[in-house]
Amino acid sequence: MVFKLNSHLLSRIASGNGHGEDSPYFDGWKAYETDPHHPTENPDGVIQMGLAENQLCFDLIQDWLMKNPKASICTPEGLNEFREIAIFQDYHGLPKFRNAVANFMEKVRGNRVTYDPDRIVMSGGATGAHETIAFCLANPGEAFLVPTPYYPGFDRDLRWRTGVKLIPVDSDSSNNFKVTREALENAYEMAQLDNIKVKGLLITNPSNPLGTILDKETLRSIVRFINEKNIHLVCDEIYAATVFSQPDFISVTEILQEDIECNLDLVHIVYSLSKDMGFPGLRIGIIYSYNDAVVSCARKMSSFGLVSTQTQYLIATMLSDNDFVEKFIRESKRRLAARYRAFTHGLDQAGIKCLKTSNAGLFLWMDLSGLLKEQTVEAEMELWRVIIHEVKLNVSPGCSFHCLSPGWFRVCFANMDDQTMHVALSRIKTFINKEADTKKPKKTLRWQGSLKLLNPPRIYDDFINSPHSPLPQSPLVRARN
Amino acid sequence: MVTEIEQPTVELSKVAVSETHGEDSPYFAGWKAHDEDPYDESSNSSGVIQMGLAENQVSFDLLEEYLEQNSEASNWAEGAPGFRENALFQDYHGLKSFRQAMASFMEKIRGGRAKFDPDRIVLTAGATAANELLTFILADPDDALLVPTPYYPGFDRDLRWRTGVKIVPIHCDSSNDFQVTLEAMEAAYRHAVAMNIKVRGVLITNPSNPLGATIQRSVLEEILDFAKRNNIHVVSDEIYSGSTFSSSEFVSIAEILEARGYKDSERVHIVYSLSKDLGLPGFRVGTIYSYNDKVVTTARRMSSFSLISSQTQHLLASMLSDEKFTENYIKTNRERLRKRYEMIIQGLKTSGIECLKGNAGLFCWMNLSPLLETPTRKGELALWKSILHEVKINISPGSSCHCSEPGWFRVCFANMSEPTLEVALKRIHSFMDQRKTDAIQSPPQL
């Protein structure tokens, strides 16, 4: 049955494209979905490197689960808890769950900080957390500052249904994309000139897509900045446990514990278990706020995105097992580090550099600006299409992250096995060698398919043509291993 | 340590400081009273009995029996990719097997009288999220949805809080058993127009909360025709569809659409959830079923903010695709709810209390208007308070459901054991006896 649309019957929110999916980047996903790589069934298929998933430690999880059937209320061992848990819909969440999450967050930060379980509020993944925080802190038309490059999902999560704007804080490759006080001030001033009220600053630390962490000085500078302007600071620490080499991760919480002037009511943390533990499907989003009113409000809003108590119970049991947690955190870092090294080494051999300050995340930030025929977004997009259709890797172009320096690409490395990684590396090597050999003018890289040229994304609120990355629309993971 | 400085409090949003979340209402006194002094068969037999919570606790044993034979751990077994694939699955389309199981379950509940296409099912974390999401899609801020009274108090928050959408009530009363009439709908529509408010849809709950009764076929037809004439949407919240006491009495709007050959159906959307029928409110399983392609696509995208845990999807996909289990569950659950209903109705009758004739849900709609000192909202609240403190049961006053006629109360009967229900009925009986005695001893002043 075909049901005709009558689109003017729908709301403005529904009719607009704030969902962010009308972007050309879906070509990459389409290419992958129509021709996905499989080691035996489709070795020449497109390798998915655009999905920041952490698949390196499932054996540890599996092992733990086998030994702890009681962690499930749906096993004979755990069944005696079934009724109570299935009926529990209190938006405070299971106390055991909140305690376990607080404990985990502390351990991830080397026990250098403490978290109060009563400040932990649930949400529908970090996606839900960001939207909720925006609803709590800003009115429609008001804005958050966000350093570029940033996770494309923010455009939807923070703006779509809330009507809140995002104002980019510029950074570029000249200083390794660091967030400077000057850039913050500039962005703030621009907003003032445009008569836009800034309500907060959103930082992601460790950064997506950079894979870098903020050093103490920068963090302190940021805290001072928001305090002076009396605006909120939202710290998305979703990649906290993926810091795989020195220096150690410094959470905003550590800064607050030091001798620094700050109105605590301004600081909020967004967290999730999607990246650190590799559980995006379980929808475990967390808002941690130092502001009582925000905790209270966000908690009420969490009714729209509570974590399934079946899952709360499982996670509560798992994360209360200190031995397991410590082992997991340690081993996960080790494997991420090994993967990162293997990849960057392989790229290095092919003459490709990655951001040297990266030491975290599930991806590397690769510099292909040397391959661009000109330093423009259009050229970057051309190169990207070649990578998708010729090299057959779905990587994410920097412009989808609103990056100002063209030619950078985010390449995910933790969502595949070693074998696939080697295939990806050899394809890249082959491609680069071909480039070097032919020494043709870069024009020949032009992809013959439909080229959608973008307007350089000078971002304010009417994002119609802005690049977005497809979001949690990951197809069901096929057994590649 | 952080040096805290006196700063002007930084503003939160208007949404954050508004009271549309609805929790500052006086009714929370009832919840407080229960929380502070909860009834317990053995340890606190004089405590407050909770009869204000529409939960279904009568069929847990059926679920437990299923789980005993179908352990989740089999999904985790060595060699099974189960947990890993599950934990990674975040596709907002939702697990296909789960959508298929849901479609099939919804069909069974309707006795096969309607078909559901799994690709039109959008998954959300509970009906709470589903109703808010649909409102975001169907209406702009300051527009309105028409909702028949009395209605579920949660709608005030779910439909209005973050969306900025208004609710304009369609007034119903006991003269015709609180059924929706064309006159009432038109009056509500005119009222909105007079206030310069654009009406975008009608939202009905069928079976009704708090009435505990299904909406008649003729009324559903009328609502659909009314929607068509005014070019607005119809949202049918059928969350209690599996809790009808007999399978034949419930008519889903899906059946009517099918009978009409799906003509003009793109304005119709159904909300469902497993919180009531399966008694799993903690698992956050809600769905939107829309006959409108654009609504399905948009709702699916929006569901990103409130997806169902894939662990839960997987479990329920197995459970609900087990035909033997679902058929037995639906039948048995219905039977048990009907018995509970009869028990409470009988018990109330012997105490001299009448209820609306109900045929569904986890509650009955009780008429205490003869007991009101004054036939006003204030009188109702006063009576409610005395029931809370003297009878020590927490029931929901009609005014919390926006009922325009004072004196009606919603009383839940499925969230407790039978013995507890007996105790509650005994207390009510004593209360009514006492009232009769008081009335005799102190006749009304002339």
DSSP A108-133: HTTTSS---GGGEEEEEHHHHHHHHH
Give all domains of chain B, ordered by start, each with its CATH number.
26-60+327-434 (3.90.1150.10), 77-324 (3.40.640.10)
DSSP letter at A371 equals: G
- In three-state form (DSSP H/G/I as H, E/B as E, the rest C), the secondary structure along A214-278 is CCHHHHHHHHHHHHHHCCEEEEECCCHHHCCCCCCCCCHHHHHHCCCECCHHHEEEEEECCCCCC
Dihedral Cα B287, B288, B294, B297, nearest 10 deg: -10
Residue of A nearest to B266 (CA): A3
What distance in Å separates the CA atoms of residue B250 and residue B124, rounded to the nearest whole number? 24
Which residues does chain A have within 8 Å of residue B125's beta carbon, measured at their own beta carbons? 124, 283, 304-306, 308
Option in B4, B265, B309 nearest A310 (CB): B309
Question: Is this structure's pTM higher than 0.90?
Answer: yes
DSSP, collapsed to helix, strand or coil, labels residue B428 as: helix
Give pLDDT, residue A435: 79
Give pLDDT, residue B81: 65
Torsion sign across C-alpha atoms A352, A355, A358, A363: negative
What distance in Å separates the CA atoms of residue A278 and residue A263, rounded to the nearest whole number? 34
User: Is the confidence metric ipTM above 0.90 for this complex?
Assistant: yes
Instruction: Give B22-51 pLDDT, tens digit per residue.
Output: 777 766 778 888 989 999 999 999 999 999
* A241 near B CB under 8 A: no
Residue B438: partners with Cβ closer than 8 Å, 6 or more residues away: none
* A451 near B CB under 8 A: no
What distance in Å separates the CA atoms of residue B182 and residue B187, rounded to the nearest whole number? 8
Label residue B446 by pLDDT band (50, 70, 90): low
B410: enclosing H helix or E strand: strand B408-412
The nearest CA of chain B is from the CA of A383 a distance in Å of: 28
Query: Residue B237 catalytic?
Result: yes
Give all domains of chain A, ordered by start, each with its CATH number.
24-58+326-433 (3.90.1150.10), 70-320 (3.40.640.10)
* B284 near A CB under 8 A: yes
Instruction: Say whether B77 and A283 touch across the interface (CB within 8 A).
Output: no
Q: How many CA atoms lie within 13 A of B348 on its CB side?
A: 23
Label residue B20 by pLDDT band (50, 70, 90): confident
CB-count exposure of residue B263 (10 Å: 0-12, 13-18, 19+): exposed
Residue B205: partners with Cβ closer than 8 Å, 6 or more residues away: B151, B152, B236, B237, B238, B239, B240
The nearest CA of chain B is from the CA of A158 a distance in Å of: 11
Q: Which of A25, A115, A150, A151 is catalytic?
A: A151
Instruction: Say whether B85 and A1 touch across the interface (CB within 8 A).
Output: no
Q: How many CB atoms lie within 10 A of CB B382?
A: 14
Instruction: Give B222-239 pLDDT, tens digit per residue.
Output: 999 999 999 999 999 999
Count interface pairs A-B at CB distance under 8 A. 288
* A278 near B CB under 8 A: yes
B413 contacts B341 by C-beta, under 8 angstroms? yes
Comparing B79 with B157, the larger pLDDT belongs to: B157
Which residues does chain B have within 8 Å of residue A63's beta carbon, measured at their own beta carbons? none
Q: What angle do CA B10, A307, B240 make, to 5 degrees?
A: 110
* A296 near B CB under 8 A: no
The nearest CA of chain A is from the CA of B403 a distance in Å of: 25
Query: Residue A275 catalytic?
Result: yes
- Among A319, A307, A318, residue whose Cα is nearest residue A91: A307
Residue of B nearest to A94 (CA): B282
What distance in Å separates the CA atoms of residue A296 and residue A302, rounded to the nearest whole number? 10
* B13 near A CB under 8 A: yes
Average pLDDT per consecutive 10 residues, chain A (481 residues; last block may be shorter): 54 88 74 91 94 94 93 93 95 98 98 97 97 97 97 96 97 95 98 97 98 97 97 98 97 94 96 97 97 96 97 97 97 97 95 96 96 96 94 95 96 95 94 76 46 36 31 35 30
DSSP, collapsed to helix, strand or coil, labels residue A287 as: strand
Q: Are strands A267-272 and A284-289 parallel, antiparallel or unpaired?
A: antiparallel
The nearest CA of chain B is from the CA of A392 a distance in Å of: 23
The nearest CA of chain A is from the CA of B238 a distance in Å of: 18
Residue among A74, A97, A142, A161 with most chain B CBs within 10 A, to mutate: A74
What distance in Å separates the CA atoms of residue B335 and residue B243, rounded to the nearest whole number? 9
Instruction: Say whether B3 and A260 touch across the interface (CB within 8 A).
Output: yes
CA max distance for chain B: 84
Q: How many CB atoms lie within 10 A of CB A70?
A: 16
What distance in Å separates the CA atoms of residue A36 and residue A46, rounded to the nearest whole number? 5
- Among B311, B275, B338, residue whose Cα is nearest residue B54: B275
Option in A1, A75, A308 nearest B309 (CB): A308
Query: Residue B239 catalytic?
Result: yes
Instruction: Say whether A477 and B89 touch across the interface (CB within 8 A).
Output: yes
Mean pLDDT of chain B: 93
Residue A135: partners with Cβ closer than 8 Å, 6 or more residues away: A162, A301, B13, B15, B16, B162
What distance in Å separates the CA atoms of residue A478 and residue A417, rounded to the nearest whole number? 13
* A438 near B CB under 8 A: no
Query: Residue B324 catalytic?
Result: no
B120 contacts B93 by C-beta, under 8 angstroms? no
Percent share of chain B, pLDDT over 90: 85
What distance in Å separates the CA atoms of residue B127 and residue B278, rounded to the nearest whole number? 13
Annotate A178-187 with b (16+ C-beta within 10 A) or e (fewer).
Answer: bbeeebbeeb
* B192 near A CB under 8 A: no
Which residues does chain A have within 8 Å of residue B131's beta carbon, measured at their own beta carbons? none
Which residues does chain B have within 8 Å of residue A310's beta carbon, measured at their own beta carbons? 282-283, 309, 311-312, 315
Q: Which of A236, A286, A352, A392 is catalytic?
A: A236
Instruction: Give B173-219 pLDDT, tens digit per residue.
Output: 999 999 999 999 999 999 999 999 999 999 999 999 999 999 999 99
Q: Which of residues 43-62 of A touch B (CB under 8 A)?
A: 53, 55, 58, 61-62
Does residue A149 have a cis peptide bond before it, meaning omega lies within 30 degrees of 0? yes
- Among A127, A99, A117, A128, residue whose Cα is nearest residue A318: A99
DSSP, collapsed to helix, strand or coil, labels residue B160 as: helix
What distance in Å separates the CA atoms of residue B336 and residue B243, rounded to the nearest whole number? 10
B378: enclosing H helix or E strand: helix B377-386
Residue B97: partners with Cβ closer than 8 Å, 6 or more residues away: B317, B321
Residue labelled with tokens 């661009």: A372
The nearest CA of chain B is from the CA of A121 a distance in Å of: 14
What distance in Å separates the CA atoms of residue A161 and residue B141, rounded to the nearest whole number? 11
| Tokens matching residue A440 | 């043709």
